[in-house]
Structure 1
Amino acid sequence: VLWSLDESQLFWASDDHTIRCWDHEMADSTGEPWTGHARGVYSLSLSPDGMKIASASRDKTVRFWDTHSGDPIGRPLHHEDWLYAVNFSPSGEFVASGGYDRKVSIW
């Protein structure tokens, strides 16, 4: 679960392979679930500028999403095994991810 910087939206990862967005002010979900992962999504991180979300999944990928449209950004980053954690660096220049392979990768 992850709040937007202005706390107007709540994002959450799901075992059904999706990410969903909830509009806090309207008390309703916004749009369709974000799809792209092939397995459960276990971690989300918001970029420091609030424009992107990184997601980590059991499908061994980190994916990036536009927070306003839910559209995928760029290509996924691939690990050797399931992922359980992802986090943007404070500058937003890097992303760290880690998982079942006991490795932390900095991208």
Structure 2
Amino acid sequence: MLLQHLQFELSEGDDGVATLDAMASTRDALHLAAIRTEAQEVLAWAARQFPHSQGPVEEGGVWDRELLEQPEAGGWTTLTLTLSATAAFVDAFRAEFRSAEDAGG
């Protein structure tokens, strides 16, 4: 799946927990709706691929999430999606998703 709005950055901790972070900001309501939809598609994929395994990775979960939407000055809205995950989740995520930037667009 090609991600049009979210570009994830991966960081890996010494504790074996990886973090995938994405953030997008807009002042346009239609663009915000598209960003929200894309975030929900990522979360729906995670729930389908790794059912019944959402929870803190440090406590035995395979993946967990934090989705925040923050109004900003000037009419901007910022949506942030953070996924904490195991290496197996990250491998599956990389196989499933690529960003428009990765695709050359």
TM-score range, shorter chain: under 0.3
| Between structures 1 and 2, the one with greater helix share | 2
TM-score (norm 2): 0.24
Bigger CA radius of gyration: 2
| Between structures 1 and 2, the one with greater strand share | 1
